[in-house]
Amino acid sequence: MDVESAAELEGTSGFTVSLENFDGPFDLLLGLIAKRQMDVTTVALAAVTDEFVAYVRKLSADAGAAEGTFSPQALDESSHFILIAATLLDLKAAQLLPSGEVESEEDIAALEARDLLFARLLQYRAFKEIASHVRATLDENADRHPRHPGTDPQLAGLLPELVWRTTPEDLRAIAEKVFARPAMEPDDVRLEHLHAHAVNVRDEMATMTGMLRQDGTLSFSELVRDAENRLVVVVRFLGLLELFRDRDVELSQDSPLGELSVTWSGSAQGETEAAQRAAAEWDDAADGAAESPGPGDEDMRPTDEEHHDG
């Protein structure tokens, strides 16, 4: 068992004892007994109990409790003291047993019980130290509160109340309208997306950095205002993530799902290195996926839907 300093054994209780061979905090006495630096047989448990009763009465009187009653703090300390006093009493009884040669199973059981009592005393001290640490941590973080953003009010208002008001007559009218509709001619197959211009990640990153160098801070909507289609918006967002990873830009958002603000904080060298690294990484991804080319220096072409959205 490691030898610890006596200061580490002192707890938060104000109960002190005054005996012939010890004068100090009760927690310190328990620590010395647990470390076997003091023999429990030399401790007058009756005197300790009398002093504790006087201490509890004074504690209740100071708290304003009525005569014959105990304050909550006094009750809490009394429950701890009863447990420890019972442990010390059993431990003292085990120590007073004859310590001759162990021959019977009862003697072995008595020795095992003594070791268990020591273990209980050590566990009590450990839990008390942990409780003090938890209390200190709670006090230190008392002014910290978690953030609960919740659902954005604009999105919460988009869900209408579900009220079923459709009658069988309404369903019949809807069915008649659907069956009475003339057959629709299939749309012509469009080929515009096969000849759409390519979108290069490195070029889009250069476009965004040029805008940020000029204005300093822009919203993401302003960065993609001149985008021709949805694919350009996606590519610029990917490039923005690369710039943020290399700390060339700073991102801020005042509210959940709010406008994203982008501030330039990098250098020309950082911009060039970020663009080259992004192109190299996406080229490697493109080589590993033959069916869908990656977004690096490989050309990214919009789909038919993205082309017409632009």
| Residues 119 and 215 both lie in one domain | no
| Residues 115 and 10 both lie in one domain | yes
| Residues 130 and 202 both lie in one domain | no
Q: What domain count does the chain have? A: 2
Q: Measure the CA–CA gap between 78 and 53, rounded to whole angstroms.
A: 9
| Residues 91 and 209 both lie in one domain | no
Q: Measure the CA–CA gap between 146 and 203, rounded to whole angstroms.
A: 41
Are 246 and 274 within 8 A, CB to CB? yes
What is the per-residue pLDDT across 97-138, written as a single tens digit (0 to 9) for each? Answer: 655 454 566 665 666 666 676 667 767 777 777 888 888 888
What is the per-residue pLDDT across 78-96, written as a single tens digit (0 to 9) for each? Answer: 777 777 777 777 777 766 7
Residue whose entry in the numeric block shows the structure tokens 């659907």 = 178
Answer whether residue 77 is part of any domain: yes
Q: Which of 281, 20, 233, 24 is nearest to 7 (CA)?
A: 24
| Residues 122 and 199 both lie in one domain | no
Q: Around 35, how many Cα atoms within 13 Å sit in the side-chain half-sphere?
A: 17
What is the per-residue pLDDT across 185-237, written as a single tens digit (0 to 9) for each? Answer: 666 777 766 666 677 888 888 889 889 888 889 999 999 998 888 888 998 89
| Residues 226 and 122 both lie in one domain | no
Answer whether residue 172 is part of any domain: no
- Domain of 287 in residue numbering reads as 195-309
Answer whether residue 116 is part of any domain: yes
Residue whose entry in the numeric block shows the structure tokens 């290069």 = 200
| Residues 126 and 227 both lie in one domain | no
Q: Which of 249, 177, 244, 178 is nearest to 213 (CA)?
A: 249
What is the per-residue pLDDT across 151-195, written as a single tens digit (0 to 9) for each? Answer: 777 777 776 776 777 888 888 988 888 888 776 666 677 776 666
- Measured over the CA atoms of residue 267, residue 273, residue 278 and residue 279, the dihedral's sign is positive
The CATH number that applies at residue 236 is 1.10.10.580
| Residues 62 and 130 both lie in one domain | yes
Are 91 and 40 within 8 A, CB to CB? yes
E strand or H helix at 309: helix 304-309
Q: Measure the CA–CA gap between 273 and 140, rounded to whole angstroms.
A: 43
